[in-house]
Amino acid sequence: MSGNSIPQHVAIIMDGNNRWAKARKKFGIAGHQEGVERVREILEAAIASGVKVLTLYAFSSENWQRPAAEVKGLMALLQRYLEKEAKLLAKKNVRLHLIGSRERFSKKLNAVMDEAERVTENGEYQLNIAVDYGGRWDIVEAAKKLAQDVKAGRLEVDEINEALFTQACQLSDVPEPDLLIRTGGEQRISNYLIWQCAYTEFYFTPELWPDFTGESLEKALVDYAGRQRRFGMTSEQIAAQGS
């Protein structure tokens, strides 16, 4: 693939861990543990393919409704991953950034998150992990920030535009996702990066996340490379730009 056909930013909804475990008559946490292994593999494959930013949907704001035992297991798994991976990510030149609300996490987990981000802060590539994240929450929080600026006299209402709103949202430090991949067969974005994915290309695969490999990612990237992103323009206009 040429450089122009490689997405700078790939977002992934990692769906299917529980179904993977159930099919093998294992507890659900086993699927999530296997899913962590795929995170390592897919990150390496993404970097090797030229992707600069990878954003993974690990735990949505709605996931708190899952059984308490599963939530507890997921929090422990997240903490172990961060404690184990931070220095390895730094060695791979990867900056880790956690997006979402941290209010419901324990003090210990918050401290581990802060340390993982600190250790990796100088990375060239970026791995974003969305935890306790929801697209609607993101938009509401951005609106609150701008409203506070207006109330404080730092901003006029007429000055608010799409660019300013984007800056108030999560992931304002990286390009918007070029490609969103969802594993597990469902064809919806489940309240994920609603604002940021206005012009994102979607790729849905029936593969469950623990079965999704570097080769699977390559198939998604090849599919993406065959698409024409028009951003409201005609094919002729796009062709003229490239000539």
Catalytic residue among 4, 15, 178, 211: 15
Rounded Cα distance between 213 and 45, Å, is 9
120 in a structural domain? yes
Could you tell me which residues are annotated as the binding site for substrate?
A: 16-20, 32, 60-62, 64, 66, 182, 188-190
Which residues are annotated as part of the binding site for Mg(2+)? 15, 201
Give the per-residue pLDDT at 229: 73
Within a domain: 2: no
Domain total in the chain: 1
Assigned domain for 1 exists: no
As a whole number, mean pLDDT of residues 39-63 equals 98
The reply to whether 122 belongs to the active site is no
In this prediction the pTM is: 0.92
Model confidence pLDDT, tens digit, residues 70-124 = 999 999 999 999 999 999 999 999 999 999 999 999 999 999 999 999 999 999 9
Q: Say if 208 falls within a structural domain.
A: yes
Q: What is the CATH number of the domain that holds 19?
A: 3.40.1180.10
Active site residue 110: no
CA distances for 225 relative to 1, 5, 178, 213, angstroms: 7, 5, 11, 19
Query: Residue 219 domain-assigned?
Result: yes
Q: Which of 4, 63, 122, 128 is catalytic?
A: 63
Q: Which two tokens mark 120?
A: 């990796």
pLDDT tops 80 at residue 241: no
Give a yes or no: residue 223 inside a domain.
Answer: yes
Residue 74 lies in a domain: yes
Range of the domain at 211: 9-242
Q: Look at residue 155 and tell me if it is in a domain.
A: yes
Residue 146 structure tokens = 């701008």
